[in-house]
Structure 1
Amino acid sequence: MGAPQPAQPAGQPPQPPGQPPQAPPGQPPQAPAAPSGPPPAGGFGAPVPPPPGGQPGYGYPQQPPGAQPGYGYPQQPPAQPGYGYPGQQPYGYPGQQPYGQQQYAMYPPTGPMPAPGMPPQGGGGGGRQRMMIIIAAAVAVLLIVGGGIFLAAGGDEGKGKDEAGSSSGGTGGDDGSGSGGSGTGGAGGKPAKTDAELLFSVAKPKLTDVTKVDGLWVTDKVFAKGSLNSVVGYNTSDGKEKWTLELAGQICWGSKHASEDGRAAVLFQDGKIGGDGRVQPCSRVAVFDIDTGKKLWEKQISLGDENIRFSEVTVGPDVVAVGGLYGGAAWKLGSGKELWRPDQTSDCKDVGYGGGTGLVAVRKCGSYDAPKIEVQKLDPSSGKPRFSYEVPEGIDYVHVISTDPLVIGVDAGGAVGTSDVIAIDDKGKMRSRISTENGKYTVRCSAVEVEDCKMAAVDEDSLYMGTEEHESQEEDYGRTNEIVAFNLDTGKARGKAEAGGRRVMTPLQMEDGMLLAYMEPTYDQGGQVMAIDPKTLKSTVYLKNPKDSIETESGYRPSLNVRLLYAGGRLYMGQTLMSERSSSLDRKEYLLVVFGGE
């Protein structure tokens, strides 16, 4: 990214009138890798020495030139049914099929069946194949919404001390890099009381369609959640609503990071969805104070009467950056002063950024049919690259898992899903490459966005990924897994932490030098937050959620459209995509639930 440059015309076509509303973007299919099997020798899929330089292949973006990803573009699948939906049981239930073997009628009966919330697995085809998958997923959304199949829901058991929520979307009371949500977080560490209860819950707002409700941030005083056309803040002390920040339209993206002084950013639509179902572009960016709900500034980048569309927003060191098909822009976090904007004259575009303690751009250059991808560590004050890493040939998509150290996920060879994780040193050279071994390790990065990886965590020395589920050796039935630590210098596994019994756990985030993992509930046990010592890989229970909240908690599996965040001794579980439909007429859904030992 260079110095400030002239704006680029948006050029986006309007959605044809009469079309049914499309599913919101911002959380594309979280795709698993290809079926398990040995990786190809010498290719991506196994740790090998850095490959020689060359022009990389690139399937990004998925749309033909002139089509804009974002609201109104078919790319978002529905959330999968939560626990309690007919035919689906929590982990550990006798006779449950292994994760990834459940069958769904919307997918053709060829090859391995996808896991809940995932598109079909497959290889080859590059961008065109993935385009077909995304369009098929969008069609599935319309069929589901129109046909009455219900989406994910939590249960009603274990009601919290206070419940917030109404038709206005939450009124009425009540890096470290990681896979969950993000925020300033407050004090971490082990809580005084391990046995937890459902402290607070926020009811689902009244929706008329599949709606993006992204954004989850926590400080010592307030937890804030994206809702319908708004962000709502609640007191951490009693769960009562403290403020509501109204937005011009639906949220397209909530920043995964917040500044140390508690400021976060949202990308949202230019207006509310009209009666004809036509959606507005995702062109507005706002920064707000999490404690007070005060909007510090709001910006758009326009050329004439056109507003440039963006796909995602991030917060880095005193910078807010947005990226998309038409390039990237950035502003000073504190003042809103513009730092750079899309360059109309350049054939390079910043399609997205990773934030947190650093700022990293994923940059596409060249023609649509034969572009190349670069990953650049940027000077946040100017956008000038401190170094560039040229992504090897055969990579279709790039995702930023961590900016410091720099760790990216890549989709190689046209396969659906993150095939490899690459660590890059401070000179822009490949530090190591770690294969996910065709789905053996379950890091999930969304199909097209840059900063939306889940189920992995990174510290200075290691990458942590969960393994796929397998039969438990300690029980007569049930599934289990492990979290494996990989050395970022060598790419080699250096040890593992076992979930044990019939439990499944997922890396959540790094906190106070510990790896936090989320242990999913079973049919007879609530979920847990585990602290894993990075050196010994021994685990300690931080929180044990109650049995009477299993159904509620089970609507927040990490592989679904959710964000999980541990902060101040509590587990925050928020939805990022919801439907107007419920999975059951007698079961209540929640936008957010909070568990803690108070």
Structure 2
Amino acid sequence: MSFGPPPSIYTESALAEGQSRARRRRRALGVVAAAVAAVLLVGAGLLWYHSDGGTKGRTDTTAAQQAPDAVRETLEKAPASPEGQVVTRHDEDKLTSQTRLAPGTWATGKIVARAVANRIDGYRIGSQWDDDKAAWSLSLDGHVCAVSRDVTADGRTAVVVQPAPGRSSGKKKGVCDEVLMVDLDTGRKLWQKKMPAADFAYVTNTNIALTRGVVAIAWELGSVAYDMDNGKRLWNTTLATSQCHDSGYAGGRALLALVTCGQSDDTTYRVEKLEPRTGKVVWQYSVSKGVHDVRLPSADPPVLAVAAGDTLVTDLITLDPKNGERLATIPMHAYEPHCDAGMYFGLVDKCYGVVVGRDRIFVMSKDETDLTTKPENHITAFDYRKGTAVARFDGRLFQSVLPVRANGDDLIVYRSSLDDIQPAAVVDWNPRTDKETPYLLFHLPEDDEGELSDPEQSDVLYEQGRVFFARRELSRDDLHPKDPVLSVLGVGTAGLLKH
């Protein structure tokens, strides 16, 4: 598990390898899909770019009154009309022949923010969207190394970056030893700290997570936690003579640490629940020997994604949040958890095909091999404590489904577009009643739909009535090198959200 510094921040990541099998196949079957669309047609009058009307009212979607420094949990409501319109868009221009990495995407009620190379940009969200100029841009000392998936209830997040060129002259190339807290609505840097003894923190091994009032970072040879409000250091560790170290964290309602022991073929893992402000271990769970890798898609309830006997995830393991005892093991041979989309930017807590609710785990399946009569894929809901399948949400012919986020006890699902006729959709699915409620119907730009819909290549977020699609890598078209590249697109309702 030893990682050295990357040759360059722009090195082609593993995201570019083995990408988008289903999306490319769907494009190849466009002629057949068009015929099917005639049968399945609904909402044919919807346009992906709808400029009329406006959203004059929006409800507060907070599920409960949260403390400002709690990791945000919102409860979404169905709009009066699911007809979609663009509410924000940005095209990145002046791309060089190299790939420009864009690892982070966050949304509030006002702003969608993007971490791109050595800056974070915020773009306004609104029905009167008419240009892609940034509302604010925050220049960073160096390139972004690790991003948190978490946003606080009052709209803050944290990132790890490289130091400024002058300050990094005496360090190894590629070191990532600065952490900063950002207000996403204003772009204001709230505080910035130099991480202690972080000479071996790189883009390949640094992970950051947020939990109530605490920012926690781990890397190859150390870890540190800061007070979210003022940046005061709460605790830190270094490898010293120990053969075990915190290699990553998962945040949210709790803080889980992935502890790695040994190296290479002798590597073993355990998972620890930590008291966030002290780093004290509350309980620990030892992962069986022979496991090649572990990810933490959820801290509370605690869920592990393990690669047993392979480099890809083979099982999900659920633990009792009270004592860390194993509850169930869920085989993943028929599923696509997407926990291995590259090796950069702190992926310990990121599984793009898995969503964990309060008592259900939602996992997207592998693509169907029968392309003529069966849905492209499906999402299965598993009972958290028993590990048994309890409900299933099917995609459609040539239209895959992706679990986006929990919505109380429901699941928000993105269903991709079939062609220029059948729209893409965001729906709310109740796994107990099997009720499907449409939230948004829209079309993505045809040339970008495949990549934007692919969880291996793009972030798909839904927040406060809007869905956002954002590429993690921005590369110019060599045939048209001066053309701008779509970076982020947001779609919201053309009507009002229900109160």
**Normalised TM-score (structure 2):** 0.80
Equivalent runs, 1:134-533 vs 2, <5 Å = 184=72, 188-208=76-96, 209-237=98-126, 238-239=128-129, 241-271=134-164, 280-303=174-197, 306=199, 308-309=201-202, 311-343=206-238, 344-366=240-262, 369-413=265-309, 415-425=310-320, 426-437=322-333, 440-446=334-340, 449-470=347-368, 476=372, 480-524=376-420, 525-533=422-430
Moved more, 183-192 or 353-362: 183-192
Q: Tell me the equivalent position of 2:456.
A: 560
Contact 1:269 1:280 in 2 (8 A): yes
CA distance in 1, matches of 2:7, 2:225: 19
* CA offset digits 1:347-390 (Å, max 9, x no partner): 22111111111111000124555232110111000111111000
AA aligned opposite 1:226? A
AA aligned opposite 1:227? V
How many residue pairs match? The answer is: 444
Instruction: Answer 1 or 2: higher relative contact order, Cα 8 Å, separation at least 6.
Output: 1
CA distance in 1, matches of 2:51, 2:488: 13
* CA offset digits 1:189-220 (Å, max 9, x no partner): 21222011233210124333223212111222
When you count strand as a share of all residues, which structure comes out higher? 2
Aligned to 2:446, what secondary structure does the other structure show? Answer: helix
AA aligned opposite 1:551? D
Relative distance call for 1:272 and 1:558 in structure 2 (3 A) is farther
Relative distance call for 1:396 and 1:159 in structure 2 (3 A) is same
Aligned to 1:554, what secondary structure does the other structure show? Answer: helix
CA distance in 2, matches of 1:454, 1:567: 16
CA distance in 2, matches of 1:566, 1:517: 9
CA distance in 2, matches of 1:327, 1:70: 22
CA distance in 2, matches of 1:409, 1:493: 17
Aligned to 1:501, what secondary structure does the other structure show? Answer: coil
CA distance in 2, matches of 1:392, 1:588: 48
Q: Tell me the equivalent position of 1:545.
A: 442
CA distance in 1, matches of 2:428, 2:434: 9
Contact 2:293 2:311 in 1 (8 A): no
CA distance in 1, matches of 2:115, 2:412: 24
Relative distance call for 1:555 and 1:266 in structure 2 (3 A) is same
Relative distance call for 1:498 and 1:588 in structure 2 (3 A) is same
2:14 aligned to which of 77, 102, 105: 77
Aligned to 2:448, what secondary structure does the other structure show? Answer: helix
Relative distance call for 1:400 and 1:493 in structure 2 (3 A) is same
* 1:412 positional shift: 0.8
* 1:491 positional shift: 1.2
Contact 1:188 1:566 in 2 (8 A): no
CA distance in 2, matches of 1:243, 1:342: 36
Contact 1:526 1:549 in 2 (8 A): no
Moved more, 531-540 or 351-360: 531-540
* CA offset digits 1:500-526 (Å, max 9, x no partner): 333210111102432011101222333
Relative distance call for 1:392 and 1:186 in structure 2 (3 A) is closer
* CA offset digits 1:101-154 (Å, max 9, x no partner): xxxxxxxxxxxxxxxxxxxxxxxxxxxxxxxxxxxxxxxxxxxxxxxxxxxxxx
Relative distance call for 1:68 and 1:323 in structure 2 (3 A) is farther
CA distance in 2, matches of 1:308, 1:230: 19
Contact 2:451 2:457 in 1 (8 A): no
* 1:296 positional shift: 1.0
Contact 1:582 1:589 in 2 (8 A): no
Relative distance call for 1:355 and 1:582 in structure 2 (3 A) is farther
Relative distance call for 1:318 and 1:436 in structure 2 (3 A) is same
Q: Tell me the equivalent position of 1:28.
A: none
Aligned to 1:551, what secondary structure does the other structure show? Answer: coil
AA aligned opposite 2:212? P
Aligned to 1:226, what secondary structure does the other structure show? Answer: strand
Contact 1:185 1:566 in 2 (8 A): no
Specify every segment of 5 or more residues in structure 1 that has no aligned partner in the other structure, as ranges: 1-60, 97-156, 163-175, 177-182
CA distance in 2, matches of 1:70, 1:455: 29
* 1:333 positional shift: 0.8
CA distance in 2, matches of 1:352, 1:557: 27
Output the aligned Cα RMSD. 3.2
Contact 1:443 1:453 in 2 (8 A): yes
AA aligned opposite 1:257? D
Relative distance call for 1:554 and 1:367 in structure 2 (3 A) is closer
Taking only the aligned residue pairs, the percentage that are identical comes to 26
Relative distance call for 1:227 and 1:184 in structure 2 (3 A) is farther
Contact 1:185 1:220 in 2 (8 A): no
Contact 2:225 2:235 in 1 (8 A): yes
Q: Tell me the equivalent position of 1:93.
A: 30
AA aligned opposite 1:319? V
CA distance in 2, matches of 1:222, 1:72: 27
CA distance in 2, matches of 1:491, 1:316: 26
Contact 1:322 1:353 in 2 (8 A): yes
**Normalised TM-score (structure 1):** 0.68
